[in-house]
Structure 1
């Protein structure tokens, strides 16, 4: 991921609802979630949710797929990996021991 894409991604995630949506879609995994269900889970009105989903799509963090009358959204795990890789690319100036423990903070249970 380049610097401009990183800035767009971070700008999109800098708003609470969009951060909550992204985290929810990451938890949903490869199955994703329908737009209506995302709004219900986060208690966000449909028009507000639509705007936030569009911003996340345009930032390249999520993708959508039409399934009949429903639009399902998915976290873009390649984009997430790219963002994390960009942020940690020069991890501690060649001293990885400084970054040790970062992945211990992630709860994948």
Structure 2
């Protein structure tokens, strides 16, 4: 992952509502959730939800597919894993395995 991509992802996740949406989608698994269910579970009006989903899409943190008249959103696990790898790349002076085994 490039530094610019990581910054974009962190900016997107730096907002409480977007972080809540992303966490919900990670918990939902690869099948994802319809936009309406995301809004219902988090108590978000459609316009607000749409704005935040667009920000997460711009950061490549979520994907979506159309099923009939519904948009189903899913966490982009490869991007999430790349972001985690980016963060641990220099952990403990380059010894990410030793760093995370005792402190994570």
**TM-score where L is the length of structure 1:** 0.89
Q: Supply the distance in 2 between the matched residues of 1:83 and 1:23 (Cα, whole angstroms).
A: 14
Written as runs of structure 1 = structure 2, the 5 A alignment for 1:23-62 is 23-62=23-62
Deviation (angstroms), 1:51: 0.3
Deviation (angstroms), 1:90: 1.8
Are residue 81 (structure 1) and residue 86 (structure 2) matched?
no
Runs (4+) of structure 1 moved beyond 2 Å?
Answer: 94-101
Gaps of 5+ in 2: none
Corresponding residue pairs, total: 102
| 1:91 aligned counterpart, secondary structure | coil
**TM-score where L is the length of structure 2:** 0.93
